[in-house]
Each structure stands twice: as structure tokens, then as C-alpha cells.
Structure 1
Amino acid sequence: MQYIPNILFLIALVVGVGFFTMNIRKVIRNIKLGHGVDTSDHKAERWGNVFRIALGQSKMVVRPIPGLLHIVVYVGFIIINIEVMEIVIDGIFGTHRIFSFLGPVYDFLIASFEILALLVLVGVILFWTRRNVQKLKRFWAREMTEWPKNDGNFILYFEMILMVLFLTMNAADLQLQQMGAAHYTQAGSFPVSSFIAPLFENFSEATLIIIERTAWWLHILGILIFLNYLYWSKHLHIMLAFPNVYFGKVVPKGKFKNLEAVTNEVKLMMDPNADPFAAPAEGAEAPAKFGASDVMDLNQIQLLNAYTCTECGRCTSECPANITGKKLSPRKIMMDTRDRLEEVGKNITKNGEFKPDGKQLLGDYILHEELWACTTCNACVEACPVSIDPLSIIMDMRQYLVMEQSAAPMELNGAMTNIENNGAPWPYNQMDRLNWKNEA
């Protein structure tokens, strides 16, 4: 009988970690649906970005108040969960505070965890207030439908409950230590829960053990539930932000990629010795599809971007097209890409391979109007705290519209025709370019 709690704990741990692993494998499979990208370049710069942007949160503190709150919650939540290692060992082997032999070091750690838990609790409450009482505009945009709004709150509630359970567990534990209860080693320093412990002064030892054990179980089960909830939540960025920043853009933001097929065609046209009517070389690959109309046409980094999006809305709040009332929202571009990718993934899971479903990212999720509203200013890319690049997806889909469907807006077609004929986007002969001087 005495081993039943250990067995139950082990089952919960295996099920929780196993289910999480299964879902993460789906994420990896879905990301691999995209085209491969060579990211072997600029390794030093990439690692520098990881330490500066992902670990150092340098782009978060551009907005000081939410940035500092995020650092407190992020660092506090991660460090506090170092104690999960002790909880796991205690749960498997039936020990209690297995690391208490560390003495003063252990006291310092527990005290640090408690102070951080309090700071996390305060930070989460302030975040909830900003989202639901202050109602910041970027959290209530049109793409923030019922689920995205609820998801943000669910995570905040999770974190509140986990911190309260952690402090309650320690407060009951402290009271049991002071009572000299068996199995409760006198260890740890409790600067926060010591203020809660007096609430338990008149409780019996048996009642305190029930409170402490209940808080302990709910805390670890809550962490396992939180871990598995990440798959459905925008908070998957907790794990993906680091690789996403590493694989982020390291070339100048204004630099666009050249299509090799188009470059080769231009070189052929400029080669006076080339035969434009020559048949393709034997074994030559057929021309690739230009641009992207669905998620399978994007590259793996763009799909990783979609899963990493935090839905914070900083990109949209900086977007000049959005600010002036146009339909474009860079955040929506990323959310739509992720939603379509998940839909494709479910299709593959159900059928063993992707079966055409009559839908695609372009048109069914992202409208032409949204794409052509973009000014390509890179404000969204600069604003993103985890190096997401919505502009690359927009440009690939524009490229598809122009090169595959000849569906550019009339104004753009006119400008391109003028460039072809006049060497400039305006409908004037090159010889007349300077006539404006005479009219001034």
C-alpha cells in the first residue's frame, strides 16, 4: 500500500510526458512539410541573437513596462520549476525534500523560489488587468476571436493557480516542520509562505498533511497539464522561441531573396550566344512553382515562425497599413498560417498522407486585399520579440499571385509595364523625364 502513491505518480509522469512528446512530434512533422533552408551560415551571429533576443529578452524591453513584467514572469516561472526535479525524485522514490542535504544552499534556493513565485503572481495579475480591465487595443483586434482571447487568460489562470499551490504547499510544510511531524525534514527558508503558515496554526497534523499533499499533487499535475496544454496554445513559444531566434533572418531586413530559376532565365536572355529556342537539357528539372499558395509551398523556418507566434500584436500595432485602417494584420498572417498548417496536419494524421481538401492558405485564410496592403517596410519584423518574419510569407504569396496567376493589381501591372517600356514606373517617355523642370 505504501508504494501506491509512487506508482500513481510514475503513471501520471509517463502519461503526461508521453502525450506531450507525441504532440511535439506532430509539430516537428508539420514544420518539415515546408522546404528545407540552409542555415549553416552566420553561426556566431545566430548564437548571439539567441543569447541577446531569446534569453536576454532585448526586444521585449523596447516597451519597458510589459517587457520587465514579462522578464519577471518568464524567469520566475522557469527557475521555480527547477524544483520540479526535486518533486519528480520525491514522487518516484517516496522521499521528501531530497535535496535538503544541501543545507544553506537549499535554504537559499527555496527562499529565491518563494520570492520569485510572489513576483510571478503579481506580474500575472498585472498582465490579466492589462488584458481584461485596461483592454489594450492590440488584444482586442478582429483576429483575436474567442479562442485567442480565452487562451491568453487560461495561461494566466494556470500560472496564478500554480504559484498559489506552490506557496500553500510550502506554508503547510513549514507548519508541519515546526510541529515536528514525521517525514517532514526541517529544511528550507520560507520568506513568503511564512506569512501564510499562521493561517494553519490551529489545524491538526493530519489535516495539514492532507493540505500539503493535496497542494503537492495538484502542483505537479498542474505542471503536466500545463505542459500538454502548450500544444494548443500560443505559449508553445516558451519552447520554440530559442530555435526560432537562432534560425531567424541574419541578412539585412530590406534584402529580398532572388529566385534561382528567374535569375538563370535573365542570364540566358542577356547571353548573346545563347539559343532561346534550345530544348531543356536532358534530366533537367521542371520549373518550380513560383511563390506560395499553401503552407507546403513555404519553407520550414516560415512554418516554425507560425508555431512560435506569441499573438502579442506588437507587429500589428507597428504596421502602417493596419494603423491606417487597412485589413492587413501581420499577426493574423501568422495565426492563419498556423491554423492552416494544423488543418493540413490533421488531414495527414487521418489519412496517412495529405488528401486534397479543396482549400489553401491563399484565399481561404489570407485574402488578396491583405497581401497587397503591405508596404514591405519591415516594421513587423523589427517589432517581433522572437524574430518572426511575416513579410516573407506575404512576399511569397504575392509572388505566386504575380508569377503564377498574373493577378497583380491594375496599378502594379501598369507600373511594371512602364518599367519595361520606359525604364521607370511613370507613363512618360525617357526623353521627356526632365520636362517637369520647365513647368516649375
Structure 2
Amino acid sequence: MNYIDNILFAIILSIGIGYFTWNVKKLIRNIKLGKDVNRSDNSSDRWKNMAMIALGQSKMIKRPTAGILHIIVYVGFIIINIEVLEIIIDGLLGTHRIFSILGNLYYFLIASFEILAVLVLVAVIIFWIRRNITKLKRFWNSEMKGWSKNDANIILYFEVVLMTLFLVMNATDVHFQSENSGNIISQFIAPLFSNFSESTLHIIERTTWWIHITGILIFLNYLYFSKHLHILLAFPNTYFADLNPKGALDNLESVTNEVKLMMDPSADPYAAPLDPDAIPAKFGASDVQDLNWVQLLNAYTCTECGRCTSSCPANQTGKKLSPRKIMMDTRDRLEEVGKNIDLNKGVFIDDHKSLLNDYITPEELWACTSCNACVEECPVNISPLSIIIEMRRYLVMEKSAAPMSLNAMMSNIENNGAPWQYNQQDRLNWKDEN
């Protein structure tokens, strides 16, 4: 490789990493549009969560077929990055297989990479069959259309091409072939090129080398626009996930203080006014800026796997609710808000749209039973329920737009001290019936 090749490689690498960095900054900016929430407590439990769930894939294997296949692809992705590091060093310094100085360890690593590459190919083919031929129901819900439907297949094709290029690159590398037996898989591909001259093999090897590293950089930058952004965000998402028991809902501090004041017979509400700073400008959430930053991180981390929706009892009974759609809609609206800010030089200009109604309907929100099945099933600890609860709070506390049955229940609690419509004097009559 001459200096021109080195310079060209450095330019391509700089563009790829530069564009990726720009997208990461935009991603962080969008997430920070959410309200602040403290997730710095219990760091040991948070690190454990990240190690077990994001790194260890502990929730993936609850569905063994998909879980095992995903682990193969995941491990292949992580380990083969060592080979990517070698390509980058070779490209910048003009060396060839610089890690070969490791001797037998290097050949062992190459053999491992090739075995993993084949396993990844097998896993990807099975994934493609499950998605496009077997047509698992959770991949064909109403929200899985257009880009969401095509994105998964594009990633699968990407992985097939990258793994194939890696194996062909090894199979046509004459110098690598003659020095060792690390090409445990590519040695069976090499005979396909047996009639080619050494110069032709060198051209094929260099071409696959360039396409391979360029493809990896394209893939890296594609992540921002893909559901596979979870490859990067699963780690912070599991770390910052809510550690409270499932079913524990956070109460609004201002409302809690008001209720305590009402229940304290010795309190003088006029002598102890609420701190104005403790009163929120809006109860609940109608748009993405009303959610907290962890919920927005959740939206970007969603893998669109559909486990949440397939386990949702409301969805199973034909209701319109799909927890996956809740997360996809939140991410889409957040992206729309981010583009608005980009177009208006860092300032959001009201576009007369909102997450509520324009993306998510009240019908979807009220179909939720708050059972936490979606939270339990999510392989990366996303909580669609937390977003649903915040939006229902807005409907009730800001718009008084609760369903009639819920309004009736709340009126009965206010008037009768119970959800049922009877006089408070009759509340204990049941005890005399036995």
C-alpha cells in the first residue's frame, strides 16, 4: 500500500467517524430535550443490570431460538471488531496484517473469527426466514410497515455482505494462505480462486479489504437511522433503567404535598402555601419535551422486536394498543422535533403538532391495563408504560378527558370514599351479612 492509499484511507476514516460523531451529538441533544430525572442512585445495582442484561443478554434467552441466534450475532459483532482494529491500523500505517506478530495467538483468533463469521451467516439466514417466510406475527403488526419493515432486512443484508467479504478477503490473501492455517473456513473457499494469478488474487483481496472497511463505516453511520441503534444504547439504557419494583408509580410531588395538607387536620393551608417552584407548568405529558430524558433514551433504544406487543394483554384481545408503537411514535416525534430545531438554528418553533393525538391516540393510552408485561418482556429494559402513564396524567389533570367510567369512579371516591356508588353510611354493611 503506498502513501496515496494511506491518505485516501485516512480521509474515508475521518469522514466516517466525523459523520458518526455529528450524529451522536445530535442524538444526545435530542435526548436532553427531556426533563431531568436523577438516576445516579444504587450504582452497584445499575452496573449489575448493564452487565447481565446488555452485555450478558440475560433477557434475550427467555425466548431461546431468537435469544441464541442473537447471542451468536452479538458475539460475532463484538469479537470481529478486533479484526476491524487491525484493518484500521493497516490502512493508516500501510502494513499488512500487523497483528500477525502475535504468532499462533493471531492464527487462533483468525480461525475463531472465521467460525464466528459462518455462524453469523447461518443466524442471519434463519432470522431472514423467520421474518420473511415464516412471517412471525410480531414482525407483521400494523406499525411494522415502510421503513420499519425494510430496516431489519437491510441490516441482515449488510451482515451477509460484511461476513462474506471477510471470508473472501482471507481466501484470496496469498501471503496469509502460505504462512499459516488460521484460515480454517476460508481454505475451503480458496479453491474457487485456484485458477487466478497471484496479481489477480491480490486485486481481489485489496478490493474486498476496501469494500469491507468502507461497509463497516457505512454500517456505523447507518445505525443512527436504524432500530439497531440499540447496539450502542442498550448499555446506558439498562444502566439508567428504573430500579423501583414494577407497578410502583411515581407520584407528582406537588399533588402529594397538597393531599398531605388536606389530610392533616392541624395544618393551615393559608399559613403554609406551596412552594411555587414545586408546582409543574404542566401535569403529565402531551409531547416529547414533557417526558424525562430516560424515557427519550428508551425511545431511541427500542429494538422493535415486538416482544412487548406480543405479550400485551390489551393487544392480544384486539385493542389498538401496541407498546412497540408507543416507543416508535415517541422516537419519530422526537426526531421531528430535532429536525425542527436544526432548521431553526437551535430553537424549536411550534409546529402545532404533538405526540398526543398526532402520533398516539387516547384510545391507545386507555387500552393499557398497567400490568407491566411490556416492561418485563423488553430485552433492554425499556418502559412503554411510563410514557403511557404520563400521557394519561395529562389527559386527566390538564384536559379532564378521562373515560366516563373512570370519571364516575373518581367522583364516587370523592363523594362516597369508595369507587362504588352508595352512601358512606352503608360502607360497612357487608360485615353484617355473614
Same fold (TM over 0.5): yes
What amino acid sits opposite 1:96 in the alignment? H
Match 1:242 to one of 232, 235, 239: 235
Indicate the larger mover: 260-269 or 114-123: 260-269
Q: Give the match's secondary structure for 1:426.
A: coil
TM-score by length of 2: 0.96
- Aligned CA-pair RMSD: 1.8
Indicate whether 1:166 and 2:166 are aligned.
yes
Q: What residue ranges of structure 2 are gaps of 5+ in the alignment?
A: none
Contact 2:254-2:279 at 8 Å conserved across structures: no
Determine the structure 2 residue equivalent to 1:389.
383
Determine the structure 2 residue equivalent to 1:183.
none
Contact 1:35-1:296 at 8 Å conserved across structures: yes
Contact 1:100-1:188 at 8 Å conserved across structures: no
Match 1:414 to one of 408, 414, 426: 408
CA distance in 2, matches of 1:38, 1:8: 45
CA distance in 2, matches of 1:285, 1:246: 28
Match 2:339 to one of 329, 336, 346: 346
Determine the structure 2 residue equivalent to 1:368.
362
What amino acid sits opposite 1:410 in the alignment? M
CA distance in 1, matches of 2:342, 2:417: 52
User: Sequence identity, in percent?
Assistant: 71
Which residues in structure 2 correspond to 1:55-70 (within 5 Å)?
55-70=55-70
Determine the structure 1 residue equivalent to 2:106.
106
Indicate whether 1:267 and 2:250 are aligned.
no
Determine the structure 1 residue equivalent to 2:26.
26
Cα 1:169–1:420 change in 2 (3 A) is: same
Post-superposition shift, 1:81?
A: 1.8
Match 2:208 to one of 210, 215, 223: 215
Determine the structure 1 residue equivalent to 2:307.
314
CA distance in 2, matches of 1:398, 1:278: 33
TM-score by length of 1: 0.95
Cα 1:31–1:188 change in 2 (3 A) is: farther
Q: What residue ranges of structure 1 are gaps of 5+ in the alignment?
A: 181-185
What amino acid sits opposite 2:359 in the alignment? Y
Determine the structure 1 residue equivalent to 2:39.
39
Match 1:427 to one of 421, 425, 428: 421
Aligned length: 433
Contact 1:319-1:379 at 8 Å conserved across structures: yes
CA distance in 2, matches of 1:287, 1:116: 53
CA distance in 2, matches of 1:281, 1:377: 34
Post-superposition shift, 1:177?
A: 4.3
CA distance in 1, matches of 2:401, 2:104: 70
What amino acid sits opposite 1:301 in the alignment? V
What amino acid sits opposite 2:358 in the alignment? D
Determine the structure 1 residue equivalent to 2:289.
296
CA distance in 1, matches of 2:9, 2:222: 19
Which residues in structure 2 correspond to 1:93-242 (within 5 Å)?
93-173=93-173, 175-178=174-177, 186-187=179-180, 189-242=182-235
Cα 1:298–1:210 change in 2 (3 A) is: same
CA distance in 1, matches of 2:351, 2:171: 55
Post-superposition shift, 1:275?
A: 3.7
Cα 1:282–1:74 change in 2 (3 A) is: closer
Contact 2:170-2:176 at 8 Å conserved across structures: no
What whole-Å deviation, never above 9, does each CA across 1:330-357 have from its counterpart, x for those lacking one?
Answer: 0000000000000000001110210000
Indicate whether 1:71 and 2:65 are aligned.
no
What whole-Å deviation, never above 9, does each CA across 1:298-342 have from its counterpart, x for those lacking one?
Answer: 000000000000000000000000000000000000000000000
